[in-house]
Amino acid sequence: MKKLLTPDPSRLGRPEGATAQPDAVTADRATGTPVPLLKALQTLLGRDNVSGRVSDLVRYASDASPYRSVPRVVVHPRNADDLAKIMRFAAHNGRHLTFRAAGTSLNGQAMSEDILVDVKTHFTGMEVRDGGRRIWSRPGVVLGDAQAVLARHGHMIGPDPGSTSVCTIGGVLADNAGGMRCSLERDSYHTLEDATFVLPSGTIVDTTDPGAEEKLAAAEPELVAGLIALRDEIRRDGELVGFLRRKFSIRNTNGLRLDAFLDEDTPVRILMRLMVGSEGIFGAITESVIRTVELPRHKAVAWVMLPDLRQAASYVAPLMETGAQACELLVAPVLKRSVDNFREAPREWADIDDDTAALLLEVGGTSETALDEAIAAAEAVLADAELVSPLTFDRTPEGQRGAWKIRNGLFGLIGADRPQGTALITEDVCFPPAQVGQGAADLLDLLSRYGYPEMVMGHAAFGNLHFFLLPRLDDDSERAHYASFLDDLARLVIDEYQGSLKAEHGTGVNMAPFLLREWGERAWGLMWRVKELIDPQGILAPDVKLTRDQDIHLRRFKSFPRVEDEINACVECGFCEPVCPSRHVTVTPRQRIVLRREMARQPENSEVLAKLQEEYEYDAVQMCAADGTCAVACPISIDTGKVMKMFRAAEHDGTAEHIALGTARNFRHVERAARSGIKAAGLLDGVGGTAPLRGVANAGRAILSPDILPTVPGKLPQAASRHLPATQREGATAVYFPACINRIFGRPHGAPSDQLELPRAIVELGRRAGRPVWIPGDVEGNCCGTPWSSKGYARGFEDRARAIAADLWRWTDGGELPVVVDAASCTHGLLEQVPGALDGELAENFSTIRILDVVDWLRDEVVDGLTFTDSSGRVAVHPTCSTTHMGINDDLVALVGRVADEVVVPDRATCCGTAGDRGLLHPELVESATREERAGLRGHFDAFVSDNRTCEMGLEMIAGRPYQSVACLLEKASRPVVTP
């Protein structure tokens, strides 16, 4: 039976103007994974660890590459033993496996048409060892998280690719990823010390086990004998040895690390080394111990602007010889493009000459003195350079972040500007570093000849250059044009420069056909012999890395049908995924867009379309926090949440809109009823806790909709006082607008008895600092409209927005006084959403009102007027998505730092997923959003602080910690000492 007010997924429809595409998922896939395969794998791994709905298959069909393969099933093994079971299952049943971690692969190496194996979800956990000199990790750990933890110990993992914030350690090892500062001796191949890995036979090898060699010999005698024979054969071939040493003297991920047979002596160690850069064709690493490098504690960056590419390139080697950390090369078109898209880009770049080139130079040292010396050494190298602009070194963290933001954001930026229907392909070749200038010039000429963007940038210190192609791969002539370009690229890089066709992105399917050309018959044949020795049945990653199909790179391209304008530019890079609140429970922003694109590919009224819409409604639409955090992580600021709110509005019929408008217009009564309900729940606490209330709520959700009526996931805060604190208009320095959530909910559950309710704390702080505030007497029933906006109820939102705008104008005497708001999400809503619902004189009036978040007010008006009488001890701080959008996270932390002995912002403290009342509608969203953050709350804390009541409530109910507003913390710490 359809529940009352349940959204109608069919109203999602298809994107306007969509036409069916040849690569649309076929009708036979509508029911997902074939039942026999699904049941067999569920028996093997457990029901929860096998994903087989059509939505699951589609969302894992794409990675950051231009390719697309729809798997038959997706499995989520929990450990090495599960992986061994899957390996044996594949061998016994003639199946193929491909491994996927973060899905940031650019070359098509993380997709499968059979069984896709997720080695991220359950493979988390890391441990810093030897004071930071080593790190133990599982493959699902995000590299950026590991770098953040190691930074506290003064170390970092050597590879630092542009995708650090999203890629995983497993992917870094599998591709032997590089990065801006990653010299050869710092890459994964050279810094991996130990590992546990699973072979295609199901054998688990642990290199830290003293008996590992004997165990492998007993379990795999033919493999051991074959590895020893290959080792000896390769070492006897002096010409081959020299060739291998030369090929790996520069960055090269195009092929297998045959030098493992030169660098290691025993089968176990040879296998471990072969695993690095193998892209999953030999097995899967499930644990690793990586040797780290020391992190410069003091750094500075500079843009070295030079008249042309060759001059810029000529300074790379001398600068690196001074000990510079990184030296990135960018050409004029790239620099010009950044001006309109990055506020950090100097405005004068818009007018530079077309031949101009720049080096982004980073220097560092263990002390300020060492940094001074590094800067002086770089300045000496550039003393006679024909600089286009003055050389300035920026030592500030903000300046450094801004410079690297420009460098790392260009991939998405170029993708956003591509013509509709074209793919974004980024390639990464490597020239001998001494020839990088001439190589870059020749590469620009080749791009120009084929009509591709004349943009080259990259890690010039290592000879590693990146460039971009924008072909329309569903057009036969453009596909042939692309194929011809790749042939000419191979001639340029391999024949003319003896370079590498792939420097750091791995090989994948797009360069696998070129391995024979780059390596020759002898080495290529040896690579196949190694593959057939380790994986004799060929169950792992067919055509990834090694293929005999010379056209594999010209098939299975994904189409890019037009979808909603707000998300149409997405290049599916995945940068949004680590911050998405629903990442652990349903889908991510990238997957929301991937699924929407599949809807656009489908013919009208197809069975697949109907099934996708049905599953999308909960997975994507209702489970989106719509907090905009994804826009912060996205290189081109795509806010997928905006589209989900559009879909929510589209799913509502007239009845739902009418009811929502009614609640908006009668919000005073809703507010009173909610406060009474919370008070009643508190009275129930002594007779069964909140269980009776939860039972009533869940019964109502069964009749209505879980997306309309909240549940009660845990201990609720106390009800707010019926009356707000008494204040006076005369002498007030600001109007104080207590958010409706703070007029309904009072002190946190379990809060100390002497903790004031937030409105009273703010009034008291203003009084103590000589900055009194006034609470209007008719504030009840007013709201910023966010609860309606987030659910897509346009009429309800507009009603509340217009009402609050009019009242704020009246309360402030026409904008004479500023307005202080005590919930960050409400402040953000008033600043960013309400203006869009206004017009005419009301809009003009509202634009003149100065609206302050309580953090702004405390920072600018209050904190310096307080006398702190008590320390708050060790305090955990949760920055909210709204404080992030408003740019006041650092201010929030600094305010807490005024009264705390230690301030801790847990790793991965992003959006908590509460999203207004969405955490009450779907507590599983909060659990997903805060999983990593909660792990960082181990140990003793004296207080837990944030700047938004709904966030605090969500964290309280899921983490079991009594969060409070920063204002309450400062109020308690500044109470006058009462002397006897």
Cα(482)–Cα(436) distance, integer angstroms? 24
Cα(281)–Cα(543) distance, integer angstroms? 9
| Band of pLDDT at residue 652, cut at 50, 70 and 90 | confident
Average pLDDT of span 632-639: 88
Backbone angles phi, psi at 785, to 5 degrees: 95, -5
Backbone angles phi, psi at 208, to 5 degrees: -80, -10
91-95, 654-658, 801-805: lowest mean pLDDT where?
A: 654-658
pLDDT score recorded for residue 11: 75
Tell whether the model's pLDDT for residue 670 goes beyond 90.
no
Cβ atoms of 740 and 783 closer than 8 Å: yes
Question: Which residues, including other chains, have CB under 8 Å from residue 106's CB and lie 6 or more apart?
Answer: 64, 65, 425, 426, 505, 506, 508
Cα(201)–Cα(120) distance, integer angstroms? 21
- Write out the two tokens for 6: 């349940």
Backbone angles phi, psi at 206, to 5 degrees: -120, 110
Cβ atoms of 913 and 582 closer than 8 Å: yes
Collapse the DSSP code of 424 into the 3-class scheme (helix H, G, I; strand E, B; otherwise coil) and give the result.
Answer: coil
Write out pLDDT tens, residues 365-395: 989 999 999 999 999 999 999 999 999 999 9
Write out pLDDT tens, residues 62-120: 999 999 999 999 999 999 999 999 999 999 999 999 999 999 999 999 999 999 999 99
DSSP one-letter string for 54-89: HHHHHHTSB-SSSBB---SEEE---SHHHHHHHHHH
Cβ atoms of 697 and 709 closer than 8 Å: yes
Read off the pTM.
0.91
- Write out the two tokens for 724: 């707000």
Enumerate the domain spans of the chain: 9-119+556-638, 298-505, 663-718+726-861, 869-973
pLDDT score recorded for residue 619: 96
Write out pLDDT tens, residues 28-64: 999 999 999 999 999 999 999 999 999 999 999 999 9
pLDDT score recorded for residue 657: 79
Half-sphere exposure of 787 (CA within 13 A, CB side): 23
Average pLDDT of span 134-148: 97
Question: Which residues, including other chains, have CB under 8 Å from residue 277's CB and lie 6 or more apart?
Answer: 174, 175, 176, 188, 189, 253, 256, 257, 506
Question: Which residues, including other chains, have CB under 8 Å from residue 809's CB and lie 6 or more apart?
Answer: 815, 842, 845, 846, 849
Read off the amino acid at residue 559.
Answer: S
Spelled out in words, what is the top-level CATH class assigned to the domain 298-505?
A: alpha beta
Tokens 């909060």 sit on residue: 926
Average confidence score pLDDT of the chain: 91
Average pLDDT of span 701-728: 67
Strands (E), 729-850: 734-737, 773-774, 819-821
CATH code of domain 9-119+556-638: 3.30.43.10
**Is 474 buried (19+), middle (13-18) or exposed (0-12) by CB count in 10 A?**
middle
Spelled out in words, what is the top-level CATH class assigned to the domain 869-973?
A: alpha beta
Cα(96)–Cα(91) distance, integer angstroms? 8
Read off the amino acid at residue 227.
Answer: L
| Band of pLDDT at residue 936, cut at 50, 70 and 90 | confident
DSSP one-letter string for 140-165: TSBHHHHHHHHHTTTEE-S-B-TTTT
Mean pLDDT highest for which of 342-351, 735-744, 857-866, 969-978?
857-866
Strands (E), 270-332: 284-291, 293-294, 298-306, 326-331
| Band of pLDDT at residue 660, cut at 50, 70 and 90 | confident
Cβ atoms of 717 and 745 closer than 8 Å: yes
pLDDT score recorded for residue 596: 97
Write out pLDDT tens, residues 904-925: 999 888 889 887 667 777 888 8
Average pLDDT of span 495-524: 96
pLDDT score recorded for residue 682: 58
Q: What is the DSSP letter of 168?
A: B
Write out pLDDT tens, residues 295-311: 998 999 999 999 999 89
**Is 360 buried (19+), middle (13-18) or exposed (0-12) by CB count in 10 A?**
buried
